[in-house]
Amino acid sequence: MASAYSRDQVVSYLNYIGLPQDLHNASPTLAFLQQLHTYTISKLPYENLSLHYNPSHSIDVDPQHLFTKIVTNNRGRGGYCMEIALLYNHILCALGFDAYTAGVRTRPRVHGTPTGDFPGWSHIVNIIAFPDGSKFHDDVAFGGDGPTMPMPLEDGRVHHNLGTQEIRLVRDWIPTQSHRTDESRLWIYQYRNQPTQPWLSFYAFPELEFMPLDWGVLNHWMNTHPDSNHRQNLLIVKFLRRECEDHVYGKIMMVNNLVRRNLGGKTETVQTLETEEKRVDALKHWFGITLTEDETKGIESSPRSLA
């Protein structure tokens, strides 16, 4: 896909995420992709604030709107999966990567654990192909248990993620699949928080390319359907990276009225928010997010208002 972004926009993005200047003209290699992933997830928070702190309670995935909201406005904003991943896809394509987006079926969390069937499409990943024939899954917009690096499409290869967490991709069918051939196997993203624990399957995806009209349909469902988790909950996850370092060491999260932090070990609650004023202050203090007056007022008609 041709990128929607100019070279000037790409440079603005690389500056915004803090990528070192000596990498701005790097070739589209795996090493460069790894750096892009780290700097992207540690700068752009996964957040669905536009469904809550917004008078229209809707998300616009037009690439130019995304660039203005996230980069140009420079207010600490990120976005939910489709926002960040689509912006990132246009950046990858502009930098010369052979990248496309794929749809993902994500299992819902029950008491923090992915449980039950894999429902309809609700997430997005980028798939990058390299000249040597290798392919990588690059997910910069999943949130808390998302990968902190691009992952090769290799069955069963284990990677160290954050703290003691391990992640892998396995090639298999999901329980509800009836057509089971080698070609119909999916890539399933799994994690476990300790090497002694069982693997948990979180999401599954094929290598089928999804295109802009596909994402328009999915975005509409996520914005409007009463069963959408994003309508029901206010979510933010930001990965933490120290200045002048190129690895993630922790994450800070907000779920509705709780701020939680994980510095590579146990997750702890660091603040409970009783009012809207405290939550707006917490957005600035913990995440560096500044809201406009219209956005702040928009929460009044959200089910997640603390007023």
* Segment 145-169 mean pLDDT: 96
For residue 248, what pLDDT is reported? 94
Domain-located, residue 196 = yes
61 — alpha (psi -120 to 50), left (phi > 0) or beta? alpha
For residue 143, what pLDDT is reported? 84
pLDDT tens across 115-138, in order? 999 999 999 999 999 999 999 999
For residue 111, what pLDDT is reported? 84
- Tell me: pLDDT of 201 over 90: yes
CB count in 10 Å sphere of residue 104: 25
To the nearest 10°, the Cα dihedral for 262, 246, 68, 230?
A: -30
CB count in 10 Å sphere of residue 198: 7
For residue 66, what pLDDT is reported? 98
- Tell me: pLDDT of 112 over 90: no
C-alpha distance from residue 231 to each of 170, 252, 276, 301 (Å): 31, 21, 18, 12
* Segment 153-161 mean pLDDT: 97
- Tell me: pLDDT of 109 over 90: no
pLDDT band of residue 243 (cuts 50, 70, 90) is confident
pLDDT band of residue 264 (cuts 50, 70, 90) is confident
Domain-located, residue 222 = yes
pLDDT band of residue 144 (cuts 50, 70, 90) is confident
d(CA 279, CA 55): 17
Domain-located, residue 218 = yes
Domain-located, residue 305 = no
Domain-located, residue 81 = yes
* Segment 268-273 mean pLDDT: 97
- Tell me: pLDDT of 174 over 90: yes
- Structural domain of residue 74, as residue ranges? 7-44+57-227
Considering its fold, how many domains does the chain have in total? 1
For residue 59, what pLDDT is reported? 96
- Tell me: pLDDT of 265 over 90: no
Domain-located, residue 21 = yes
Tokens of 239: 């990965």
Query: Domain of 73: which CATH number?
Result: 3.30.2140.20
- Tell me: pLDDT of 1 over 80: no
Domain-located, residue 122 = yes
Domain-located, residue 252 = no
Backbone φ, ψ for residue 189 (5° rounding): -85, 125
For residue 307, what pLDDT is reported? 82
- Residue with tokens 């991943």, as numbered in its chain: 85
For residue 129, what pLDDT is reported? 98
Percent of the chain with pLDDT over 70: 100
Is the pTM here over 0.75, yes or no? yes
* Segment 107-121 mean pLDDT: 91
* Segment 156-164 mean pLDDT: 95
For residue 131, what pLDDT is reported? 97
For residue 83, what pLDDT is reported? 98
pLDDT tens across 7-51, in order? 999 999 999 999 999 999 999 999 999 999 999 999 999 999 999
